């Protein structure tokens, strides 16, 4: 038998920068010119963000490439499908995209996930730039290189790890974001404080009104700090084999609440109650002091996010939904529970009774 070694040890450097600012679109040309992109540029956006922002961004991109084209798709999670990927790939071929082309996502997490995935597989990989326009995309989905689409069987089941060449964030984009979408992102922002940064949690407590009033200076501080925190986690654990798991705080119950409500409960809302539920389980196990737990619940509530569940979402329905959570490994659910503000631990073996108890407390009662 002949043995042939295929040696691929040379590590590819996939480092990139995230730029965060306010009214900084004019700097886009200078920043992008440093990347020395060569070919045509394709903006992928949705019909909302095309009207609001992508047209403006296109004008700036025309300074770095002679050929800049836009592909706009309808907004919404339904677009995150393999069908959309095929349609977009065929469109790119018909528009004469080649291996030197760059795909630029302008939109929320849906557009970022679709465009990143497409960039990772189109012609076996082309350059990808992310310009996130929702708070959730700016603080979460644009950092870390997870891309993908949904299947009927569940969310994000097909995808890749593919890092962008650059992320460009202007908090001015958030000025047009509906309140509900803004709060969706706030749930993730609060999560960072609880899981890994006490000082940031205090910063949020001190700046609730300014953040809700979308004060640009406070937003730049908030978004850039969240990006740094997620950067720290991702640098340590790019492919989610360990530390990155702590980012799932609140998400175990959240996914189940979302599906039990037939996705009528928005993701950020579900994460908010999921974080309170995980905190209640931690209180029950005496992992966290009740005072810290109350502060967590209070901050979530001050931002206008829910800290209780509607009675019609039964604990049975939510608990049964847990078994479909993709974060289950080898039949074991990993729970991220707060130890104190700024620190969490990953726990297994939480009983059905503990979960039921926490959910029932959420249905009307407070901590
Ligand atoms: N890749 C990751 O690591 C990661 C992490 C978290 C979430 N996600 C994914 O992100 C997606 C959710 O992202 P999202 O919350 O940004 O939702 P989204 O992309 O659906 O955007 C929400 C809505 O806001 C509109 N919008 C976007 N920017 C706007 C702006 N500046 N002004 C006005 N309207 C604007 C969009 O058109 C859309 O209607 C989910 O598919 C989720 O799975 C991915």
Domains of the chain as residue ranges with CATH: 17-176 (3.40.50.1970), 179-235+243-362 (1.20.1090.10)
User: 22 an active-site residue?
Assistant: no
Residue 367: band (very low, low, confident or very high) from pLDDT cuts 50, 70, 90: very low
The rounded Å distance from CA 266 to ligand 1 centre is 11
Judge if the beta carbon of residue 80 lies within 6 A of ligand 1: yes
Q: What is the 3-state secondary structure (H, E, C) of the chain?
A: CCCCCCCCCCCCCCCCEEEEECCCHHHHHHHHHCCCCCCCEEEEEEHHHHHHHHHHHHHHHCCCCCCEEEEEECCCHHHCCHHHHHHHHHHHHHCCCCCCCEEEEEECHHHHHHHHHHHHHHHHCCEEEEEECCHHHHHHHCCCCEEEEEECCEEEEEEEECCCCEEEEEHHHHHHCCHHHHHHHHHHHHHHHHHHCHHHHHHHHHCHHHHHCCCHHHHHHHHHHHHHHHHHHHHHCCCCCCHHHHHHCCHHHHHHHHHHCCCCCCHHHHHHHHHHHHHHHHHHCCCCCHHHHHHHHHHHHHCCCCCCCCCCCCHHHHHHHHCCCCCCECCECCEEEEEECCEEEEECCCCHHHHHHHHHHHCCCCC
Judge if the beta carbon of residue 184 lies within 6 A of ligand 1: yes
The rounded Å distance from CA 140 to ligand 1 centre is 10
How much is the pLDDT for 75?
A: 98
Judge if the beta carbon of residue 52 lies within 6 A of ligand 1: yes
pLDDT, tens digit, for every residue of 97-148? Answer: 999 999 999 999 999 999 999 999 999 999 999 999 999 999 999 999 999 9
Judge if the beta carbon of residue 146 lies within 6 A of ligand 1: yes
The rounded Å distance from CA 138 to ligand 1 centre is 9
pLDDT, tens digit, for every residue of 209-240? Answer: 999 999 999 999 999 999 999 999 998 877 77
Average pLDDT over residues 292-318: 92
User: 244 an active-site residue?
Assistant: yes
Q: What is the value of pTM for the model shown?
A: 0.95
Q: What is the mean pLDDT of the chain?
A: 93
pLDDT above 70: residue 337: yes
The rounded Å distance from CA 105 to ligand 1 centre is 11
Active-site residue (options: 191, 221, 266, 267): 267
Judge if the beta carbon of residue 181 lies within 6 A of ligand 1: yes
Residue 32: band (very low, low, confident or very high) from pLDDT cuts 50, 70, 90: very high
Active-site residue (options: 58, 80, 221, 230): 230
pLDDT above 70: residue 278: yes
User: 248 an active-site residue?
Assistant: yes
User: 255 an active-site residue?
Assistant: yes
Percent of the chain, pLDDT > 90? 77
How much is the pLDDT for 98?
A: 98
pLDDT, tens digit, for every residue of 338-365? Answer: 999 999 999 999 999 999 999 988 886 4
How much is the pLDDT for 366?
A: 42
How much is the pLDDT for 200?
A: 98
How much is the pLDDT for 330?
A: 59
Average pLDDT over residues 179-194: 97
User: 94 an active-site residue?
Assistant: no
User: 146 an active-site residue?
Assistant: yes
Percent of the chain, pLDDT > 70? 96
Average pLDDT over residues 35-46: 95
Compare 275 and 309 and report the one with higher pLDDT: 275
Average pLDDT over residues 81-87: 98
How much is the pLDDT for 166?
A: 96
How much is the pLDDT for 365?
A: 47
How much is the pLDDT for 285?
A: 96
């Amino acid at each position: 038998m002949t043995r042939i070694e295929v040696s691929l040890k040379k590590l590819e450097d996939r480092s990139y920068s995230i730029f965060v600012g306010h009214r900084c679109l004019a700097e886009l040309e200078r920043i992008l010119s440093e990347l020395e992109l060569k070919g045509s540029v394709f903006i992928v956006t949705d019909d909302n963000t095309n009207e609001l922002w992508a047209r403006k961004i296109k004008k700036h991109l025309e300074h770095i490439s002679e050929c800049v084209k836009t592909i706009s798709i309808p907004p919404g999670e339904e677009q995150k499908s393999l069908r959309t990927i095929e349609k977009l790939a065929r469109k790119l071929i018909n528009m004469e995209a080649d291996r030197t082309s760059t795909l630029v996502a302008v939109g929320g997490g849906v557009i970022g996930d679709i465009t990143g995935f497409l960039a990772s597989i189109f012609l076996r990989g082309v350059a990808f730039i992310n310009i996130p326009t929702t708070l959730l995309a700016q603080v979460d989905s644009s950092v870390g290189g997870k891309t993908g689409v949904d299947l009927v069987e569940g969310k994000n089941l097909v995808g890749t790890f593919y890092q962008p060449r650059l992320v460009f964030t202007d908090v001015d984009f958030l000025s047009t974001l509906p309140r509900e979408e803004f709060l969706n992102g706030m749930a993730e922002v609060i999560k960072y404080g609880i899981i890994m940064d006490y000082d940031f949690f205090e910063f949020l407590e001190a700046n609730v009104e300014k953040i809700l009033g979308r004060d640009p200076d406070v937003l730049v501080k908030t978004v850039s700090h969240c990006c740094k925190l997620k950067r720290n986690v991702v640098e340590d654990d790019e492919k989610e084999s360990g530390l990155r798991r702590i980012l799932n705080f609140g998400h175990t119950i959240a996914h189940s609440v979302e599906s039990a409500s037939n996705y009528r409960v928005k993701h950020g809302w579900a994460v908010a109650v999921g974080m309170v539920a995980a905190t209640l389980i931690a209180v029950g196990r005496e992992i966290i002091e009740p005072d810290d737990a109350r502060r967590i619940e209070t901050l979530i509530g001050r931002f206008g996010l829910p800290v209780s569940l509607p009675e019609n979402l039964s604990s049975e329905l939510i608990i049964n939904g847990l078994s479909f959570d993709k974060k289950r490994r080898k039949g074991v659910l990993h729970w991220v529970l707060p130890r104190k503000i700024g620190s969490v631990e990953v726990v297994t073996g939480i009983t059905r009774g503990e979960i039921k108890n926490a959910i029932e407390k959420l249905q009307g009662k407070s901590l």
